[in-house]
Amino acid sequence: MAGSGSSEIVHSTAAQYAPWILLLPMLAFPIILYLGKALNGNKMWKDTLKEGGLIALGFMGASLVLSLWLVVDFIGAYGGTEMLSDWTWFTSSMWADGDNAVSTVSFGFGIHIDHITVMLLFIASFLCLLINTFAIGYMNTDPINDNRNHRFYAEFVLFCSGMLGMVLADSFLWLFIFWELMGLCSYLLIGFYYERPSAAYAAKKAFLTTRVGDVFLMVGLAILWDLFGSLDYAVVFDSHNIEAVANNSAGTLAWALGLMFIGAVGKSAQFPLHVWLPDAMEGPTPVSALIHAATMVNAGLYLVARMFPFFGHEAMHGELADLAFIIAAIGGTTAVMAAAIAFVQHDLKKVLAYSTMSQLAYIFTGLGAALYLANTLHWHKYLPDGTTNPEYYVNHGIVIVAFGAALFHLFNHAMAKGMLFMASGAVIHEVHHAHHHLHHHDDDHGHSDPEELVMLAKYLNDNDQTVYEFFKSIDLDGSGDIDMFEFQKALTASQIANLPPWEMTALVKAVDLNGDGRLNLPELDLALGRIISDLDHGHHDEFDAQSMENMGGLASKMPITATAMLVGSLSIMGFPLIGGFWSKEGIIANTWRVALEDPRFFYPALCVLLGAGMTGFYMSRMWLKTFAGSPKGEVAAHVHPTNTWIKIPLFTLTFFSLGGVILASMGFTHWAPDIEYGLMSDHGGFIGGFLYEMEHVFANSKPFFFILTYIAIFIGAIVGPGIALSLYGGALDEGETVKPWFTPVLALNAAVKGRYHWDNSALAGSGFATALSNRLYFDHYYDMAMLKIVAAFSNKAAEADASVIDGTVKTIERTSQDISTKLRALTTGSARDYILMAAVGTLALVGLIWGVVA
């Protein structure tokens, strides 16, 4: 897409089937929802179909097969030319104006496929399938989800179809529609445990915060529509159209793109709209893995990447450099800020959440740098005046590699972060199980108490009433035992529930031990007393299965998970030769390249360099606290390996993260943004590509970049992890055996910690650390602003709404109903009256026709 705009467009068979990639999950949504309702609790549904998990898996699998077919077709048969397929809702020549009867108006949905689409399509469909597999192992074994997993799977597939649709759409309008569909599903999934106030709050927060960005996006799109008269990629990316717009209203276009970028900031959780992402960890872990790491947050990046043709067009030369700087600066700020907050998190998933924010910020910085280069360099074959560009080859390479590095990092991060989240889910899952196993194996009845009884117990607890007093107050006839009717009255009086008779029977049965159909004091005391004592002693305990303070030494107990986590962490850190390294180095190098041109860019450039070290620290800290050292507490010592459904995706993704070097050697960074570049073509195949990449990264011929690379490696892979090694972890307990590849890591850890360990309590207790653990008070100030300004305004608006708008609507409604009654009263039911009315009508018609003519 970055090449000339006149590339040939192909209609291939694979593209014809492309709409099914998103339609299949969309179809699965009602199917799973309906079957889940119909078969809820059914044994076959639960065990064989995994409450819809396998149905979802089937549909996602089919979707992935179609995606892969499309990808292969795209790379192989069509050598990377853009493909299109459209499905027209309706076309009509009837509205064509004037003499031009052949022109048609058409409405519909189209598929647009280019390099970026293909890359994200693969990420989305592949990860969705793996996370679906993971979810079967995670969700279906958690007793808290009893019989409601079909809701999870239904919302999950709908979400996937939103992501796939957004990637495939051929216009900004459809992109926006699917974008909002994802927003909705994200809300539903974060609030999956809606009975927890924190989850409900997090869901609302995520929805509203991203909505702030969406409003700007919508305005941006409206401006764009005003400029181009369409939101179809085919129109807005058309070279001549951009030229026309650039000549007349380049500034307006910059504003439109800027506003759209704010939408991306919200979706990808960047400063200052980042506050929702950590809270979103309230959702089940597969949701965190899917939405907040692998797919949805990429939507914002995708949107910015889609803007590339505007930046890269010669006609816009230099006009958008400021916007590119803003993108990079926001990215740089977020990268450092999120990494700093990640230092002090104890919650495993929260560390990953901040890490996600920080890594996305890297990509934004990389995109900002690439967009800046594209906007300020003459990198097209021909200069605006039509002469051949002498610097074409060099500049073209610079722009392409910068853009490619950002896209490649997107790919690497999605793979690694999806895996990290799933691995963390596996850890949490097993820690939780171990805890449950240790403390709860004898009293599992806590879950079987009828809800009304729990509410009644709470009611008594809150009102300081003893069971005896309560019993006396409801035993109306003083007979010493109460019957169902009295009990029902009492429940109604205390505003707990007004149950129908059949449910009352069930409730009484749960308490009635001697089976006489009536309740006496001992029975009630026994049932309520147990619940009350559970409430008093915090039976629903405060043990936090997500806290790293309760882990440690898990490397020997969960080898596959630990390996996955290690590889994922190394990839995120940018450890040489592993996954993220190839892209992160590119981002850092290109940001510095821009900084040499434009001093403003020193800010993001320093940020990403510093961030590399910080990433090294917090990722190492996370791994060491979780997997190295001796187990902190009894629970961590009793953790078992996880189940197969969870292992499969971890295993798969470990190889994908390790295999970053393969993709890099194939020339991914060149291929992803450039239409003229084939995979494995320009540097002499795979080996040549490998050598080219190695040479560029490790032995760059330009001294500046040569030194920069080694500084980055030193900071990111030695200083950051080194500090973490000296502070956390340590050798495992005696007698624990580990896989051979952990031995050097743990030995190094033990050695460094033994030699250089230092006391960081002063730092940890400092005001800055407190501020960090309070997330730099962003939430606090946002809440205050909301309360002071928005809430006050809302109250006024609500008043106005009630009196003016509702009043008007109600008046209209009442008046219409009155008229309706009067009109229907004319329908007397007597044929004579009907004929009379017909006669009146006839006279009126004669009068009207004759009268008008005469």
Residues in contact with other proteins by CB under 8 A are 34, 37, 88-92, 94-99, 101, 813, 816-817, 819-821, 823-824, 826-827, 829, 831, 833-835, 837-838, 840-842, 844-846, 848-850, 852-854
- Decide: helix, strand or coil at residue 695: helix
Q: At residue 378, what is the residue type?
A: H
Q: What is the spatial distance between Cα 53 and Cα 140, in angstroms, rounded to a whole number? A: 9
Nearer to other proteins, 146 or 833 (CB): 833
Strand partners, 92: 105
Output 795 or 828, the one with its CB closest to other proteins: 828
* Cβ 99 to other proteins shortest distance, Å: 5
Smallest gap from residue 835 Cβ to other proteins (A): 5
- Of 466 and 817, nearer to other proteins (C-beta) is 817
Which residue lies nearer to other proteins by CB, 684 or 847?
A: 847
Cβ at position 826, least distance to other proteins in Å: 8
Q: DSSP states of 223-273 as a string?
A: HHHHHHS--BHHHHT-HHHHHHHHHHHHHHHHHHHHHHHHHHHHHTT-TTS
Distance CA 48, CA 67 (A): 27
Tell me whether residue 537 or residue 824 sits nearer to other proteins (CB atom). Answer: 824
Q: How far is the CB of 88 from other proteins (least distance, A)?
A: 7
Half-sphere exposure of 527 (CA within 13 A, CB side): 22
* Omega of the bond leading into 631 within 30 degrees of 0 (cis): no
Tell me the C-alpha distance between 564 and 463, whole Å. 51
Tell me the Ramachandran region of residue 597: left when phi exceeds 0, alpha when psi lies from -120 to 50, beta otherwise: alpha
The answer to whether the CB of 142 falls within 8 A of the CB of 102 is no
Nearer to other proteins, 101 or 144 (CB): 101
For 275, how many CA atoms within 13 A lie in the half-sphere containing its CB? 22
Distance CA 370, CA 379 (A): 12
- How far apart are CB 824 and other proteins at their closest, in Å? 5
Please, which residue, 804 or 838, has the CB nearer to other proteins?
838
- Comparing CB distances to other proteins, the nearer of 447 and 824 is 824
Residue with smaller CB distance to other proteins, 87 or 768 = 87
Least distance to other proteins from the beta carbon of 19, Å? 12
- Least Å distance, CB 11 to other proteins, is 18
Q: How far is the CB of 304 from other proteins (least distance, A)?
A: 31
* Alpha carbons 261 and 242: distance in angstroms, whole number: 19
Measured from the Cβ of residue 90, the count of other Cβ atoms closer than 10 Å reads 9
Of 16, 122, 17, nearest in space to 75 by CA: 122
The token pair at 518 is: 């009536």
Enclosing H/E stretch for 164: helix 149-168
Q: How far is the CB of 574 from other proteins (least distance, A)?
A: 47
**SS3 assignment, position 541:** coil
Q: Which is nearer to other proteins, 794 or 815 (CB)?
A: 815
The residues, ordered by sequence, that sit 6+ positions from 240 with a Cβ below 8 Å of its Cβ are: none
Q: At 484, which amino acid appears?
A: M
> Measured from the CB of residue 213, what is the shortest distance to other proteins in angstroms?
27
Q: How far is the CB of 27 from other proteins (least distance, A)?
A: 13
- By beta-carbon proximity to other proteins, the closer residue of 394 and 843 is 843
And the tokens for 225? 């529509």
Judge residue 95's burial from the number of C-beta atoms within 10 Å of its C-beta, 0-12 exposed, 13-18 middle, 19 or more buried.
Answer: exposed
How would you classify residue 464: left for phi > 0, otherwise alpha for psi between -120 and 50, otherwise beta? left
